[in-house]
Amino acid sequence: MRRIVLLACLFAALAFVMAAQPVLAQEGETEPVTATLTIPFLDEWLLSGHADNTAEAFNHWNEEDPAEVPVDCAKCHSEAGYLDYVGADGSEANVVDHAAPIGSVVTCVTCHNDATVVKQSVIMPSGIELTGLGDESRCMECHQGRESKVSVDAAIAEAGVDEDAVSADLGFRNIHYYAAAATKYGTLAKGGYEYDGMMYDGNFAHVEGFETCIGCHNPHSLEVKVEDCAGCHEGVAGVDDLKNVRMEGSVKDYDGDGDVEEGIAFELQGLQETLLTTIQAYAGEVAGAAIGYSPAAYPYFFADPNA
């Protein structure tokens, strides 16, 4: 089934086949030899999430009426929507004009077209435009989240309450999935909430050669280039080993568990656990209601009658 979605790639390459001249046979032979078209990185792409035509990300709207990918979702959940957004279809860039057909994935043409080849900037959900980018800008359009400090502040302002006031007009703002670009660019993107007057980290540049999405990820298979990580990080043989990485200069106990040698991933895990505990305590003490959380069910936070 996956090879069906290669049609877009094949059509894009068809011009090369039509223009190619047959290779002349050797003297005495009568049958011409026709050149074979090879699609680069095909095997890597076929194994990636971008090619998974069974994924929920590409099938969520199949049973809707009408069966189409809505304007708000089309940019990142359909080929036509992405091409529309970047202006590769001849329309205005940075806006999706129409709902998109269902049944597509992220194909070769989605990322490789006349618009993306010159793309150097991305507008984040905060409205901030990050400039001076390269090919990683193609990834950042969809791996940026959907919310920001700006949208949270706007919701608070619309409710007309103070920042920490309990209000029935306020609810959880879901940043959406895999907001890696917002995380990487920190306060430059303002993907997370920031209190006025406080200082927050900016772009995590890492080291030369590994400062972009595609510096660390294979752009076709999407896999992390673990073998390259191992050049500097001892003990890294697989993706799970990256959780143990901690820079020598990082000596702060961020999650307060007393361990300053654990990998930064575990510091973050500890902070997440502390945050959830604090949210639940706040809900009980201030709002007077127990709250539960499930990462697998929208809208993720629920009234918890079993607490």
Q: What was the pLDDT predicted at 199?
A: 97
Per-residue pLDDT of the chain (307 residues; tens, 9 = 90+): 444 444 445 444 444 344 444 445 556 566 777 778 889 999 999 999 999 999 999 999 999 999 999 999 999 999 999 999 999 999 999 999 999 999 999 999 999 999 999 999 999 999 999 999 999 999 999 999 999 999 999 999 999 998 778 888 988 898 998 899 999 999 999 999 999 999 999 999 999 999 999 999 999 999 999 999 999 999 999 999 999 999 988 999 999 999 999 999 999 999 999 999 999 999 999 888 899 999 888 888 999 988 7
Q: What was the pLDDT predicted at 299?
A: 85
Q: How do 122-123 and 129-130 pair as beta strands?
A: antiparallel
Given the structure tokens 């990487």, which residue do they identify?
184
Indicate the DSSP class of residue 281. H
Q: What was the pLDDT predicted at 297?
A: 85
Q: What was the pLDDT predicted at 15?
A: 42
Q: Is the distance from CB of 178 to CB of 187 less than 8 angstroms? A: no
Burial (CB count within 10 angstroms: exposed 0-12, middle 13-18, buried 19+), residue 105: buried
Q: What was the pLDDT predicted at 295?
A: 86
Is the preceding peptide bond at 70 cis, omega within 30 degrees of 0?
no
What is the distance between the alpha carbons of residues 201 and 203, in angstroms, rounded to a whole number?
Answer: 7
Q: What was the pLDDT predicted at 4?
A: 47
Q: What was the pLDDT predicted at 278?
A: 95
Read off the tokens for 263.
């990998």
Query: Which parts of the chain are beta strand (E)?
Result: 68-69, 100-101, 122-123, 129-130, 291-293, 301-303
Q: What was the pLDDT predicted at 166?
A: 83
